[in-house]
Amino acid sequence: MRKPKTVVEKIWEKHVVHHEEGKPDLLYIDLHLVHEVTSPQAFEGLRINNRKVRRPDLTFATMDHNVPTIHRNVIKDEVSKTQMETLKTNCEEFNVPLADIHHPDQGIVHVIGPELGLTQPGKTIVCGDSHTSTHGAFGALAFGIGTSEVEHVLATQTIWQAKPKTLNVKVNGKLGTGVTAKDLILAIIGKFGVKFGTGYVIEYTGEAIRNLSMEGRMTVCNMSIEAGARAGLISPDDTTVEFLRGRRHVPTGEAFDQLAEEWKALATDEGAIYDETVEIDAADIEPQVTWGTNPGMCIPVSANVPSVEDGQSDNDKEEIKRALEYMGLQGGEPISSVAIEHVFIGSCTNSRFADLKKAADIVKGHHVHPNVRAIVVPGSHSVKKQAEDAGIDIIFKEAGFEWRDAGCSMCLAMNDDVVPEGERCASTSNRNFEGRQGTGARTHLVSPEMAAAAAVKGHFVDVRTLGVPAHN
């Protein structure tokens, strides 16, 4: 009998171009996604060395980090403006397809890849961006790379990579009503820490993962990097196939059916061996809120913010102390008593149509709290359009939310959408580091549903008490 293999092993074997014992492998790359922040020096390197982009047809660029999400034509920041102009010039010169700021395909790079069907099971996918792990939701091996590696991939369509170890994160049972994929990944990182994935590619398995929609799976894989992992992925199944059916860059008819069978055959075989396995029970998970300055510093919405004395070691205590100080919290107060001034619904973690729809379901018939400024930033132009066609923009606007154009926006302070110093934001993004949403800004990571509920109440609240429809 054939030796059972993991999805990672199967993809790896199909992509090794050169192997030498004890050295990294040279891997073929099927899809290279490019954005304006990490590509300028890479293209410049090609120019200096008089090289071409080897496979422009396997390369796709967009503008996301720097783009304004209102007044599209007014780019105030000089660096942002230069980076966007440079990407345009580079894509023209090197023949790389580009969805620029005004293009109907524009959006956050990790939202548009799947949306266009560029992201497919079994592919090796890279991008000069750490959240490339998002694409792993499709059973692709997708990871972020640095700018010098971007240049290498542009020039050769390959990359040197040491074969990673595999870590099975098995999620048993079912998530409760009102508990989302975002709560799941926050709870995983909260339980095992922000370093437990270091050196591994995580494969998420188990009943709760199988039951997730593709949007939910993308949310989970997106945050693999916040667990320290190289990448995170989920074996392809019928959910994956159905999401991709009919998308622009996938074949149709019989060719699709054949491809779908190949995709499903990539799933990890029964009995395959992982280097490590951890397990968690979905039923134990409550809606989560981060209280501190890394995504592992999260607690259930019913819990109290930890106090310095709760630290297990001196180091722990020091970390808690610093985080409490930065976050302007005492320690010991219920997280639900913490008032917020901003709500951001967006980012590559939670800005897809399904995310916006679920947030809108909570908001409907309510109004944003008078002390709160709330914005919704669709992940792509096409998400925006889909939401508008469904009337979701109206629900948000009537409730007092701002309805913006697509981009990374308030996820990171690289554009005009910034949280002012000392102010607090409930955010559906993936990073709550010091200064992430602006100098001195205080970020609390939550699900779209929890963000919507906080916008209405002006403080964190268990969304389940507002009566939420059953979905993940």
Ligand X SMILES: CC(C)[C@H](C(=O)O)[C@@H](O)C(=O)O
Q: Which does 144 bind (CB under 5 to 8 A by kind): ligand SF4, ligand X, none?
A: ligand X
- Does residue number 10 form part of the binding site for ligand X (CB under 6 A)? no
- Does residue number 39 form part of the binding site for ligand SF4 (CB under 6 A)? no
Of 201 and 348, CB closest to ligand SF4: 348
User: Which residue in 62, 154, 160 sits closest to 106, CA to CA?
Assistant: 62
Residue 32 beta carbon to ligand X: minimum distance, rounded to whole angstroms: 15
Q: Is residue 78 exposed (0-12), middle (13-18) or buried (19+ Cβ within 10 Å)?
A: exposed
Looking only at the bridges linking them, the beta strands covering 16-18 and 25-28 are: antiparallel
Q: Which does 189 bind (CB under 5 to 8 A by kind): ligand X, ligand SF4, none?
A: none
Which residues ranging from 93 to 122 are in contact with ligand SF4 (CB under 6 A)?
108, 110
User: Which residue in 14, 222, 57 sits closest to 133, CA to CA?
Assistant: 222
Q: Which does 38 bind (CB under 5 to 8 A by kind): ligand X, ligand SF4, none?
A: ligand X
The Cα 120–Cα 98 span in angstroms is: 19
137: left (phi over 0), alpha (psi -120 to 50) or beta: alpha
- Does residue number 80 form part of the binding site for ligand X (CB under 6 A)? no
408 annotated among ligand-binding-site residues: yes
- Does residue number 129 form part of the binding site for ligand X (CB under 6 A)? yes
* Residue whose beta carbon is closest to ligand X: 130
| Length of the chain, in residues | 472
- Does residue number 144 form part of the binding site for ligand X (CB under 6 A)? yes
Binding-site string for ligand X from residue 24 to residue 43, where x marks contact by CB under 6 A and - marks none: -------------xx-----
Amino acid at site 397: K
The Cα 298–Cα 304 span in angstroms is: 10
CA-to-CA dists, residue 181 to 43, 149, 164, angstroms = 37, 31, 25
- Does residue number 436 form part of the binding site for ligand SF4 (CB under 6 A)? no
Q: Which does 429 bind (CB under 5 to 8 A by kind): ligand SF4, ligand X, none?
A: ligand SF4
Q: Give the long-range contacts of residues 16-20, CB within 8 A, separation 24 or more.
A: 17/158
The Cα 142–Cα 165 span in angstroms is: 15
Binding residues for ligand SF4, total number by CB under 6 A:
13
Contacts with ligand SF4, residue ranges (CB under 6 A): 64-65, 108, 110, 129, 131, 347-348, 408, 411-412, 429-430
Q: Which residues bind ligand X (CB under 6 A)?
A: 37-38, 65, 129-131, 144, 412
Binding site for [4Fe-4S] cluster, by residue number, is 348, 408, 411
